[in-house]
Amino acid sequence: MRRYVLTGTPGAGKTSILGALAELGHVVVEEAATAVIARAQARGDAEPWTRASFIEEIVELQRHRQQTASTSNAVQVYDRSPVCTHALARYLGQPVPSSLTVELERITTYGIYERQVFFVRNLGFCEPTSARRISFEESLEFEKVHEESYRAFGYELVDIPAAALPRRVATVSAMLSGPGR
C-alpha cells in the first residue's frame, strides 16, 4: 500500500484537488482536524482548537482513518497527516501530546506514508470558514511551520504550485500513477 499525503497552506485548494482525485478513482482520506472542529461546533463548542484535548482528538481520528481506509486500490491520498498535526500543535503554541509522539514514531517506524509529500502552495488568498478562521498572512506563517515539520521528520516536499485546479490535479495524478508507481 502506498499512502501519499497532500498538505499545505490552509485554503490552498487541497480539498478540491482531493475531490477531483476521487472522481478519477483514487482512494482519498479526508482531513481529520476539520471533522473534529465540525463535530465540536455542532455540539456548541465554537473554538475547539482552544481545548487541551484538541490535538489528541485529531491524532485519534487520523490513526483510525488510516487504519480503516479502503484497500481497494494500491494508492491512497491523505488530506494531511500526523506531521501536519505536529505543525498545528507548534503553530497553536500547544505542547506535543504523548499520543502524537507515539503516532509520529509509528508512522516513521513502519513507513506508513510515502516520503514524498505533495505540498500544495497558496493561491494568494485564504477564505475563512467556520473551521478555518485564519487570515492569509497567518496562513503563510502556518505554511512555514508545515514545511519545517515535514523536513524535520525527513519528508521530501513535492511542490504543487498555484495553478488552475485541472492542472494541479493532473500534476498529482501523474505522479501517483507515473513510472515505478
CATH number 3.40.50.300 is the correct assignment for the domain at 2-177? yes
Cβ atoms of residues 148 and 87 within 8 Å: yes
Measured CA to CA, the distance from residue 25 to residue 32 in angstroms comes to 21
> Does residue 152 have a pLDDT over 50?
yes
More confident residue, 172 or 130: 172
Cell numbers at residue 46, please? 465554537
Whether the model pTM is above 0.75: yes
> Does residue 139 have a pLDDT over 90?
no
Query: How many Cβ atoms sit within 10 Å of the Cβ of residue 154?
Result: 9
> Does residue 181 have a pLDDT over 50?
no
Q: What is the pLDDT of residues 74-85, one digit of tens each?
A: 899 999 999 999
Cell numbers at residue 17, please? 484537488
pLDDT band at 174 (very low <50, low <70, confident <90, very high): very high
Cβ atoms of residues 72 and 26 within 8 Å: no
> What is the residue-averaged pLDDT of the chain?
90
- CA end-to-end distance (rounded Å), the chain: 11
